[in-house]
């Protein structure tokens, strides 16, 4: 041990430096970002600096603690933020905690510790672990969604949504009072009986039915295993809960629902204005699932049946109809002779879980109702069936079946012997691909034909599609024909459903809603917020068997009688006047996990504001639109891809409501989104399949062993159960935070997933040791830099590095920025000479030039700030490195006077020539032709063609 030089940059020294600088940053409040006004204002520090709001998806405070994968994105934003501070920006960067919701509550139930106790302990642990990472966060702005001072405003925003309706004409939300006023004034039809003829109760129900937050009896995802309903987005394709993997059943219940579908078009169209990864935009587009087509009326004995179709052009091929088993007209249409069979089928369909109904490749079942409907273009009476492949929740819950043009209908027709009529002649290639001669006899077809084909057998007295060849044109003609006769109209349908917003749990925001005797919801007055979540000693949901579909939700809050009953003065939604004090019953459901994350970025801006959720000027400063047409929003939002259709859709929706109602200037919450990858790890199992500690596995000749026993390797997430967790604390201990940060950033592009390899971390530690050694003598601790100017080649390397690193930092390419800095330091080391053997010899060579060392340290600062600050100070700088202007490349030194140009013969590199920078094409060609090796390669032949890329390459084509 004595042989290690006293002043070597070891983990111990790194730890000492890091904790010292972390304390100093905190004392000096280095990372506090000033607001333009309000309690966090500091106009002097804002002047001349452009604002920049960068954001991480905030974590939920897990009891499991952090592993090395968690901070990847946080380090990325920290590096970017520190770089932007050095380029003169006023950077807002903070981190809060998403602490309400099912994960925290499930954990609390498992451990028997109250979620608040748990949550607070976990937040404290995470704060400590993250502080040790040296993140440049403004600590004043950290919030937890469970703080009363926070969820008070979550409730307040909910009330704004409750008190709003969507005006389709103006394409925006408006206060519900304006709707009441327009109805009362008679300027807007109610869609039913005139306002004046309605009773107060009827008016209340009408108004409530139009709110953006409404109670509705609707099919919901009931999950007895969790004791709550779930949003569609929280249910997996297998029909199980995202959390806990319990069965989910479809049940009709009266639940809070948010009218996100009103925003479907804007959520879809505004994606085009966002700087987001295309893949995420695509996922949101698919989730919203807008389809254009037509609604068409088919008359039946029980009244008109309306269908939605994207292919009105194929109406002539509609040979039967299929209704969803839950369709309201099924009863009326069912012939007495068919009733028993229909009822049996409906019962079976109802009992099937979503999982069973979801698999697309199972046989198409269904039963006929014994009724017919009239095809509006052919006048034919076609049979009506029910089948579970038609879903009540999409379109109208009924379809016209065109077996020749839709594979599902084709399968169904084949299974049940229903007629198939072609309306298009498929192209010859289609038949050829199926090994078939062209024919209109669909009995010979192996599948439905979907695509452009010439229309046939598609005409009646007044509508002729025959001879057309385009789906769009034929569809437009058919739709126009239907519209002219009142039989249908162009229509748009979405996959997106309204957002089921209540949970029968304890650990969430209580609704700021009470009920009177009529059972209609009423908003509690704003000034009574927050509606506090009562402290319960028994917070567990009632134990329900996960498979018991018939169980009933029992929200824990319903057990708190003195909380549920409340005496209040509330405003009458119809008159707008305050009612006399009376007794009400509180809503006992709570909001879902996603509520708090729908607006948290706004609270970072103004965390202490007691009179508004965020000050308008402060919001405009940080998030306002940057130019006409700009959506505004966070400048850079970094997080995992798993929230593509959950948090990211919900937050956009809330933000748009707030924008419509004039509460925020930005139209979108997150202007630029970046998805960081995941850090994964190898895990190892012994021959019995038991995971063994990954850290103790050794590799021998390409195989893996643990305690002499062969083990198998797999790859996946880090987790306790796989015994492959590596924690940041271990990395701090073994290498220091700077090395850890550098390693994570050097592993590859930030948006790519990669495998953790503790073995590789040492590379970055060696790099920092070499940098350190170029500045500080390892034995004496003396700073050894020289004031003499750097030689030209070193200076050139410096300026090229500066230009490259700036580029990489802007583009979040930290891995290549680090590679460039290592190269520069290697060049510097070469210049200083091998100092491994002597102290005097290094000094004799004059040490590393200060003009290179200082910018190198500055460029390192965003990546490994502690050691950079330490070196900066040891180099005699007394100014704050965090705000020292980032080095600027001198173009004169980025270019060099000579360039080495590769010479190709027929596209293969045969030689290189050195030419002056800016040499003409002719000069380059002559140099190339004069080259010995080129002449050998040409073997006396004269090039037929010469391609010269100035400064880059010569290619001689023989």
* Residues between 385 and 424 with contacts to RNA, criterion CB under 7 A: 388-397, 399, 406, 408
Question: In terms of CB distance, is 468 or 954 closer to RNA?
Answer: 954
Q: How far is the CB of 84 from RNA (least distance, A)?
A: 21
Q: Map residues 815-844 to x or -, x wherever contact with RNA holds by CB under 7 A.
A: xx-xx--xx--x--x----x-x--------
- Out of 146, 334, 765, 858, the only residue in the binding site for RNA (CB under 7 A) is 765
Q: What is the dihedral of CA 9, 12, 18, 19, to 10 degrees?
A: -160
Cα(371)–Cα(302) distance, integer angstroms? 9
Question: In terms of CB distance, is 569 or 714 closer to RNA?
Answer: 714
Per DSSP, 140 falls in state G
Which residues between 290 and 309 bind RNA (CB under 7 A)? 291, 293, 308-309
Q: How far is the CB of 151 from RNA (least distance, A)?
A: 28
- β strands within 697-852, DSSP E: 698-700, 703-706, 709-716, 754-755
Q: Is residue 61 classed as helix, strand or coil in its secondary structure?
A: coil
- Out of 48, 759, 892, 939, the only residue in the binding site for RNA (CB under 7 A) is 759
- Here the tokens at position 755 are 């495998």
Which residues between 872 and 931 bind RNA (CB under 7 A)? 900, 902, 904, 906-910, 912
Q: How far is the CB of 958 from RNA (least distance, A)?
A: 9
Identify which range of 31-39, 76-84, 839-847, 941-949 contacts RNA by CB under 7 A: 941-949
Q: Map residues 462-501 to x or -, x wherever contact with RNA holds by CB under 7 A.
A: -------------------------------x-x------
The verdict on 447 binding RNA (CB under 7 A) reads no
- Out of 712, 757, 841, 898, the only residue in the binding site for RNA (CB under 7 A) is 757
Which residues between 146 and 185 bind RNA (CB under 7 A)? none
Question: In terms of CB distance, is 351 or 755 closer to RNA?
Answer: 755
Q: How far is the CB of 953 from RNA (least distance, A)?
A: 4
Q: How far is the CB of 888 from RNA (least distance, A)?
A: 22
Question: In terms of CB distance, is 4 or 436 closer to RNA?
Answer: 4
Question: In terms of CB distance, is 444 or 909 closer to RNA?
Answer: 909
Question: In terms of CB distance, is 24 or 357 closer to RNA?
Answer: 357
Q: How far is the CB of 415 from RNA (least distance, A)?
A: 11
Identify which range of 59-67, 116-124, 746-754, 913-921 contacts RNA by CB under 7 A: 746-754
- Out of 145, 746, 774, 784, the only residue in the binding site for RNA (CB under 7 A) is 746
Q: How far is the CB of 861 from RNA (least distance, A)?
A: 18
Cα(52)–Cα(83) distance, integer angstroms? 12
Per DSSP, 517 falls in state T
Q: CA nearest 601: which of 54, 33, 36?
A: 54
The verdict on 701 binding RNA (CB under 7 A) reads no
Q: What is the dihedral of CA 704, 710, 712, 718, to 10 degrees?
A: -70
Query: How many other C-beta atoms are found inside a 10 Å radius of the C-beta of residue 111?
Result: 12
Query: Taking CA 640 as the corner, what is the angle to CA 754 and CA 637, rounded to the nearest 5 degrees?
Result: 120
Question: In terms of CB distance, is 716 or 791 closer to RNA?
Answer: 716
Question: In terms of CB distance, is 609 or 896 closer to RNA?
Answer: 896
- Out of 748, 875, 880, 884, the only residue in the binding site for RNA (CB under 7 A) is 748
Alpha-helix runs per DSSP H in 211-290: 264-269, 278-288
Cis peptide leading into 530, omega within 30 of 0?
A: yes
Identify which range of 130-138, 441-449, 629-637, 640-648 contacts RNA by CB under 7 A: 640-648
Q: CA nearest 482: which of 398, 396, 380, 376?
A: 376
- Here the tokens at position 899 are 């360039």
Question: In terms of CB distance, is 59 or 293 closer to RNA?
Answer: 293
Cα–Cα distances in Å, from 447 out to 20, 318, 358, 407, 420? Answer: 72, 16, 22, 6, 11
Q: CA nearest 732: which of 775, 765, 766, 693?
A: 765
Q: CA nearest 49: which of 883, 637, 887, 855?
A: 883
Question: In terms of CB distance, is 884 or 953 closer to RNA?
Answer: 953
- Out of 766, 918, 922, 941, the only residue in the binding site for RNA (CB under 7 A) is 766
Task: Please name the residues in contact with 288: beta carbons below 8 A apart, sequence gap of 6 or more.
Answer: 264, 267, 268, 494, 495, 496
The verdict on 752 binding RNA (CB under 7 A) reads yes
The verdict on 764 binding RNA (CB under 7 A) reads yes
Q: Map residues 797-816 to x or -, x wherever contact with RNA holds by CB under 7 A.
A: ----------------x-xx
Q: How far is the CB of 705 from RNA (least distance, A)?
A: 15
Identify which range of 83-91, 110-118, 119-127, 284-292 contacts RNA by CB under 7 A: 284-292
Is the Cα torsion angle 528, 533, 534, 535 positive or negative in sign? negative
Asked whether 181 and 557 are in contact (CB, 8 A), the reply is: no
Question: In terms of CB distance, is 109 or 645 closer to RNA?
Answer: 645
Which residues between 325 and 384 bind RNA (CB under 7 A)? 357-360, 362, 364
**Residue 35 β-bridge partners:** 41
Query: Taking CA 338 as the corner, what is the angle to CA 336 and CA 344, rounded to the nearest 5 degrees?
Result: 120
Task: Please name the residues in contact with 517: beta carbons below 8 A apart, sequence gap of 6 or more.
Answer: none
Q: How far is the CB of 821 from RNA (least distance, A)?
A: 8
Task: Please name the residues in contact with 931: beta carbons below 8 A apart, sequence gap of 6 or more.
Answer: 903, 911, 913
Question: In terms of CB distance, is 528 or 896 closer to RNA?
Answer: 896
Query: How many other C-beta atoms are found inside a 10 Å radius of the C-beta of residue 391?
Result: 13
Which residues between 217 and 276 bind RNA (CB under 7 A)? 237
Query: Taking CA 825 as the corner, what is the angle to CA 824 and CA 826, rounded to the nearest 5 degrees?
Result: 90
- Out of 11, 283, 476, 560, the only residue in the binding site for RNA (CB under 7 A) is 283
Which residues between 3 and 22 bind RNA (CB under 7 A)? 3-4
- Out of 770, 795, 877, 935, the only residue in the binding site for RNA (CB under 7 A) is 770
Determine the size of the site formed for RNA (CB under 7 A): 89
Question: In terms of CB distance, is 121 or 698 closer to RNA?
Answer: 698
Cα(945)–Cα(932) distance, integer angstroms? 19
Question: In terms of CB distance, is 103 or 395 closer to RNA?
Answer: 395
Helix or strand (DSSP H, E) at 950: none
Alpha-helix runs per DSSP H in 29-101: 43-46, 72-86
Q: Is residue 237 classed as helix, strand or coil in its secondary structure?
A: coil
Q: Furthest-apart CA pair in the chain: how many Å? A: 108
Cα(740)–Cα(737) distance, integer angstroms? 5
């Amino acid at each position: 041990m004595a042989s290690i030089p006293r002043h070597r940059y070891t983990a111990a020294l790194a730890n000492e430096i890091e904790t010292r600088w972390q304390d100093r940053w905190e004392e000096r409040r280095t990372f506090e970002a000033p607001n333009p006004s309000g309690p966090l204002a500091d106009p002097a520090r804002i002047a001349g600096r452009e604002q920049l709001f960068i954001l991480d998806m905030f974590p939920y405070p897990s009891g499991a603690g952090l592993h090395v994968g968690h901070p990847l994105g946080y380090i990325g934003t920290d590096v970017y933020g520190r770089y932007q501070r050095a380029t003169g920006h006023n950077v807002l960067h903070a981190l809060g905690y998403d602490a309400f919701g099912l994960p925290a509550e499930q954990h609390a139930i498992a451990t028997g510790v109250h979620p608040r106790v748990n949550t607070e302990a976990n937040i404290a642990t995470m704060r400590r672990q993250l502080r040790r990472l040296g993140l440049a966060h403004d600590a004043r702005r950290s919030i937890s969604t469970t703080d009363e001072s926070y969820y008070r405003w979550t409730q307040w925003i909910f009330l704004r949504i409750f008190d709003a309706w969507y005006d389709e004409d103006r394409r925006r939300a408006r206060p519900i009072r304006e709707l009441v006023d327009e109805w009362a004034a008679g300027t807007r039809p109610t869609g039913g009986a005139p306002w004046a003829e309605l009773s107060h109760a009827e008016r209340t129900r009408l108004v409530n039915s139009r709110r953006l937050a409404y109670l509705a009896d609707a099919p919901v995802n009931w999950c007895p295993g969790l004791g709550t309903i779930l949003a569609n987005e929280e249910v997996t394709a297998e029909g199980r809960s995202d959390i806990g993997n319990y069965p989910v059943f479809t049940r009709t219940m009266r639940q809070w629902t948010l009218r996100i579908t009103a925003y479907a078009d804007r959520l879809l169209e505004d994606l085009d204005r966002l700087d987001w990864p295309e893949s995420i935009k695509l996922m949101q587009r698919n989730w919203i699932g807008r389809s254009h087509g037509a609604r068409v009326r088919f008359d039946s004995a029980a009244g008109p049946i309306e269908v939605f179709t994207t292919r009105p052009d194929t109406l002539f091929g509609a040979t039967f109809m299929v209704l969803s088993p839950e369709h309201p007209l099924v009863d009326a249409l069912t012939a007495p002779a068919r009733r028993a069979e229909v009822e049996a089928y409906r019962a079976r369909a109802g009992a099937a879980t979503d999982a069973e109904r979801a698999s697309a490749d199972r046989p198409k079942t269904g039963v006929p109702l014994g009724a017919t409907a009239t095809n509006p273009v052919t006048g034919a009476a076609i049979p009506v069936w029910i089948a579970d492949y038609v879903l009540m929740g999409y379109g109208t819950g009924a379809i016209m079946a065109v077996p020749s043009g839709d594979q599902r209908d084709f399968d169904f027709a084949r299974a049940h012997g229903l007629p198939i009529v072609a309306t298009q002649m498929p192209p010859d290639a289609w038949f050829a691909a199926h090994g078939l001669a062209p024919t209109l006899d669909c009995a010979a077809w192996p599948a439905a034909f979907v695509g452009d084909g010439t229309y046939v057998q598609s005409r009646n007295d007044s509508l002729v599609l025959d001879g057309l060849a385009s789906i769009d044109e034929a569809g437009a003609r058919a739709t126009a024909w239907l519209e002219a006769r009142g039989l249908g109209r162009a229509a748009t349908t979405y996959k997106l459903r309204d957002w089921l917003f209540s949970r029968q749990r304890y650990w969430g925001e209580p609704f700021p809603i009470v009920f009177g005797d009529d059972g209609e919801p009423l908003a509690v007055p704003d000034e009574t917020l927050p509606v506090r979540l009562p402290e319960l000693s028994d917070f567990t949901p009632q134990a329900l068997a996960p498979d018991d579909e018939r169980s009933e939700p029992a929200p824990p809050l319903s057990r708190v009688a003195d909380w549920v009953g409340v005496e209040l003065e509330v405003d009458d939604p119809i008159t707008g006047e305050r009612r006399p004090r009376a007794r009400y019953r509180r809503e006992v459901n709570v909001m879902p996990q996603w509520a708090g994350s729908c607006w948290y970025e706004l609270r970072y801006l103004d965390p202490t504001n007691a009179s508004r959720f965020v000050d308008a000027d402060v919001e405009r400063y940080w998030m306002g639109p940057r130019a006409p047409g700009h959506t505004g929003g966070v400048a850079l939002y970094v997080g995992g891809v798993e929230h593509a259709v959950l948090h990211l859709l919900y937050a956009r929706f809330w933000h748009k409501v707030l924008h419509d109602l004039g509460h925020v200037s930005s139209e979108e919450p997150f202007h630029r989104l970046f998805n960081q990858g995941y850090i994964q790890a190898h895990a190892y199992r012994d021959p019995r399949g038991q995971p063994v500690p990954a850290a103790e596995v050794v590799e021998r000749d390409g195989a893996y062993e643990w305690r002499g026993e062969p083990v198998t390797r797999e790859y996946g997430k880090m987790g306790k159960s796989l015994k492959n967790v590596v924690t940041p604390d271990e990395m701090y201990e073994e290498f220091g935070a700077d090395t850890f940060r550098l390693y994570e950033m050097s592993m590859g592009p930030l948006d790519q997933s990669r495998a953790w390899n503790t073995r590789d971390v040492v590379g970055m530690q060696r790099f920092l040791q070499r940098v350190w050694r170029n500045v500080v003598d390892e034995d004496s601790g003396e700073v050894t830099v020289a004031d003499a100017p750097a030689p030209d080649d070193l200076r050139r390397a410096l300026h090229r590095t500066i230009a490259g690193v700036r580029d990489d930092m802007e583009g979040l390419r930290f891995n290549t920025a680090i590679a460039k800095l290592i190269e520069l330091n290697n060049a510097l080391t070469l210049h200083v000479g091998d100092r491994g053997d002597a102290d005097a010899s290094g000094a004799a060579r004059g040490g590393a030039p200060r003009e290179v060392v200082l910018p190198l340290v500055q460029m390192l600062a965003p990546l490994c700030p502690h050691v950079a600050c330490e070196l900066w100070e040891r180099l005699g700088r007394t100014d704050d490195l965090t705000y020292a202007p980032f080095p600027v490349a001198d173009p004169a030194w980025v270019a060099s006077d000579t360039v080495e140009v590769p010479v190709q013969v027929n596209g293969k590199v045969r030689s290189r020539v050195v030419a002056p920078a800016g040499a003409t094409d002719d000069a380059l060609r002559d140099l190339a032709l004069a080259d010995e090796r080129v002449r050998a390669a040409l073997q006396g032949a004269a090039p037929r063609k010469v391609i010269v890329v100035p400064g880059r390459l010569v290619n001689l084509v023989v």
